[in-house]
Amino acid sequence: MKSAVIPQVRVEPELRAELESVLREGETLTSFVETTVRNAIAFRRVQTEFHARAQAASEAYHQTGVSVPVETVLARLQARLDARRKKLRR
């Protein structure tokens, strides 16, 4: 597949200088921009999926009237966090 070019973006010299000042050793402006765009795409996908799940949960609640108490949700999240922290310490 042939590669494509992302359109150029005009920025003030100060912004470009600031950007260049945070590049890591061996990192190019092009690689930084590509990585940033990929990360933004991934973040937007996560946001979209989260919103869809929240919308579905809201609709299910309005149809059934059944919900999970906040204490239960927080306890489950805390258990997941504790398990992940324990796994990372190994």
Q: Using an 8 Å Cβ cutoff, are 61 and 67 in contact?
A: yes
- Provide the pLDDT confidence category of residue 90 given band limits of 50, 70 and 90: confident
Q: What pLDDT, on a 0 to 100 scale, did the predictor assign at position 1?
A: 84
pLDDT number for residue 15 = 97
What pTM was estimated for this model as a whole? 0.72
In a domain, 43, yes or no: yes
Q: How confident is the model at residue 65 (pLDDT cuts 50, 70, 90)?
A: very high
Report the number of distinct structural domains present in the chain.
Answer: 1
What tokens does 84 get?
């992940």
| Residue with more model confidence, 37 or 1 | 37
Domain that holds residue 81: 13-89
pLDDT average, residue stretch 41-70: 97
Q: Report how far apart the first and last C-alpha atoms of the chain are (Å, whole number).
A: 42
Q: Residue 6 domain-assigned?
A: no
How many other C-beta atoms are found inside a 10 Å radius of the C-beta of residue 10? 6
